[in-house]
């Protein structure tokens, strides 16, 4: 096993172990647990800034050696792979059979599938295809006793046992180290394109209502202010305008019909510069929209979940920052490169942002901020009714708090 070290939110250094098998991983976990240490799973290290700082010394476990394609019965539309496989490599394997996993994961060349599952990653295509939680049908993971256990299977319809796949998806690596995943996949769409257009802030609610009622069925509806549109690689537009990008995927004839339908509906709407984006330009824009949530220049990244009907109200109120919304999913991303500083009006601004979202019936998560601020911020948002249930699950599956101690609950 390779050894090096890393820090997580200025905590460390933590020695890194890179086990080549589940058996080696089990040895690492047993040794750490016996010494009262924590185990911190890492993959491509693209999201180490997500969560609360660690609370216990321990070891970081690099899963990238667990990257094998274990089984791929393409006709069954399922694939079993090691959790350390890079998302980009998984896409390449699936593409050879004309298939894909339609979930947006930023920085796919580095991000591992296991890490994406741990955070239940999603992006613009969430509207049409769902999240990783909808695609994981089998799982293997190492428990706090160093044993590898499995749940689910290799068939899409499997109802045996507890649904540990859904418990592990989005658990932030706090319930075990995932070693292997079985996914259901889909045929790769024949065509992929977008309709983009601009509108003024006062017309955003009306335009989003139009899209909701449209006869077309986009797989993504993105709302971006000019800063976000430029950061995603969009073509320059009028500065006062918000930009909406509606994405369509499927058979070529179906995509053509849907785009023409939407363009026809927009003729009487308060929008401007409606355009079709196809081919390589569409591929580039999809990548830009999907990767924006992990924008390197943003020192602060804040995710709000609100009822979809309140997205326009919340997004336009936050306009001075970089704002991207998955509009029909109720998700609003807010970025800031600076301005939230310890000696500035940070507390009042963050409180205002949180209050704005709370008033709209939502909640917030801080997915990136300076480590020093995490001691005073509610990184995972306002406590909700399910928080106690989550703690009970953690105590049941990891009573010694071995995995990622502190990272989820602080």
Q: Note the pLDDT of residue 344.
A: 47
- The pLDDT of residue 402 is 98
Confidence at residue 96, expressed as pLDDT on a 0 to 100 scale: 98
Query: What pLDDT score does 192 carry?
Result: 98
Instruction: Kindly tell me the burial class for residue 109, based on how many C-beta atoms sit within 10 Å of its own C-beta (0-12, 13-18, 19 or more).
Output: exposed
Residues of the chain with CATH 3.30.465.10: 1-188
Residue 186 has pLDDT above 50, yes or no: yes
Distance between CA atoms of 163 and 326, rounded to whole angstroms? 28
**Residue 254 pLDDT > 60, yes or no?**
yes
Mean pLDDT (the chain) is 92
Question: Mean pLDDT throughout 178-187?
Answer: 98
Reading the block at residue 410, the tokens are 């602080």
Is the pLDDT confidence value at 132 over 70? yes
Every domain range in the chain assigned CATH 3.30.70.120: 293-379
- Torsions phi, psi of 158, nearest 5? -140, 115
CATH-assigned architecture of domain 293-379: 2-Layer Sandwich (3.30)
In the prediction, which pLDDT does 343 show?
A: 43
pLDDT score recorded for residue 386 = 87
Residue 233 has pLDDT above 90, yes or no: yes
Q: Residue 9: is its pLDDT beyond 60?
A: yes
Res. 342 pLDDT band, cuts 50 70 90 = very low
Instruction: Tell me the two tokens of residue 217.
Output: 């069925």
Dihedral of CA atoms 128, 130, 135, 137 in degrees, nearest 10, equals -130
Q: Which pLDDT belongs to residue 320?
A: 76
In the predicted structure, residue 341 carries a pLDDT above the cut 50 = no
Q: What is the mean pLDDT of residues 30-56?
A: 96
| Cα 206 from Cα 266, distance rounded (Å) | 11
CA distance 177 to 160: 22
Q: Does domain 191-292 have CATH number 3.30.1360.120?
A: no
Residue 209: asked if its preceding bond is cis (omega within 30°), the reply is no
Q: Give the residue range(s) of CATH 3.30.70.2190 domains in the chain.
A: 191-292
- Give the C-alpha separation, 139 to 145, whole Å: 17
Domain 1-188 sits in CATH 3.30.465.10: yes
Higher pLDDT, 160 or 302: 302
Query: How does residue 384 score in pLDDT terms, banded at 50, 70 and 90?
Result: confident
What pLDDT, on a 0 to 100 scale, did the predictor assign at position 355?
A: 86
Whether residue 37 has pLDDT greater than 70: yes
Q: How confident is the model over 64-104, as pLDDT tens digits?
A: 999 999 999 999 999 999 999 999 999 999 999 999 999 99
Q: Is the pLDDT of residue 205 over 50?
A: yes
Model pTM above 0.85:
yes
**pLDDT of 158 higher than 80:** no
What's residue 347's pLDDT? 59
């Amino acid at each position: 096993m390779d050894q090096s070290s890393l820090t997580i939110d200025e905590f460390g250094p933590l020695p890194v172990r890179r086990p080549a098998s589940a058996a080696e991983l089990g040895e690492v976990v047993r040794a750490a647990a016996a010494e009262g240490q924590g185990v911190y799973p890492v993959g491509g290290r693209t999201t180490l800034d997500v969560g609360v700082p660690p609370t216990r010394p321990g070891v970081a476990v690099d899963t990238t050696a667990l990257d094998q394609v274990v089984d791929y019965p393409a006709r069954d539309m399922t694939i079993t792979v090691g959790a350390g496989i890079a998302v980009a490599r998984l896409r390449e394997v699936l593409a050879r059979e004309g298939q894909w996993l339609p979930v947006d994961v930023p920085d796919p060349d580095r991000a591992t599938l296991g890490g994406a599952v741990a955070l239940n990653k999603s992006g613009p295509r969430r509207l049409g295809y769902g999240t990783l939680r909808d695609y994981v049908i089998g799982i293997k993971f190492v428990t706090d006793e160093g044993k590898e256990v499995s749940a689910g299977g290799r068939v899409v319809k499997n109802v045996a046992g507890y649904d540990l796949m859904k418990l592990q998806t989005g658990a932030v690596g706090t319930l075990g180290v995932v070693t292997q995943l079985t996914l259901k996949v889909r045929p790769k769409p024949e065509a992929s394109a977008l309709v983009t257009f601009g509108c003024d802030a006062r017309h955003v609610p009306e335009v989003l209502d139009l899209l909701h009622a449209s006869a077309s069925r986009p797989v993504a509806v993105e709302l971006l202010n000019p800063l976000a549109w430029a950061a995603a690689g969009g073509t320059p537009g009028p500065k006062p305008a918000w930009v909406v990008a509606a994405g369509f995927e499927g058979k070529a004839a179906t995509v053509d019909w849907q785009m023409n339908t939407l363009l026809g509906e927009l003729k009487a709407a308060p929008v401007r510069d409606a355009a079709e984006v196809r081919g390589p330009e569409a591929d580039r824009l999809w990548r830009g929209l999907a990767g924006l949530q992990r924008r390197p220049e943003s020192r602060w990244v804040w995710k709000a979940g609100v009822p979809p009907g309140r997205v326009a109200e919340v997004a336009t109120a936050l306009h001075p920052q970089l704002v991207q919304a998955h509009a029909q999913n109720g998700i609003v991303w807010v970025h800031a490169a600076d301005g939230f500083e310890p000696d500035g009006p940070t507390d009042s601004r963050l409180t205002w942002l949180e209050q704005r979202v709370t008033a709209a019936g939502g909640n917030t998560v801080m997915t990136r901020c300076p480590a020093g601020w995490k001691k005073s911020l509610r990184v995972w948002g306002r406590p909700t009714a399910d928080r106690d249930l989550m703690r009970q699950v953690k105590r049941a599956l990891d009573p010694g708090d071995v995995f990622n101690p502190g990272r989820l609950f602080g």
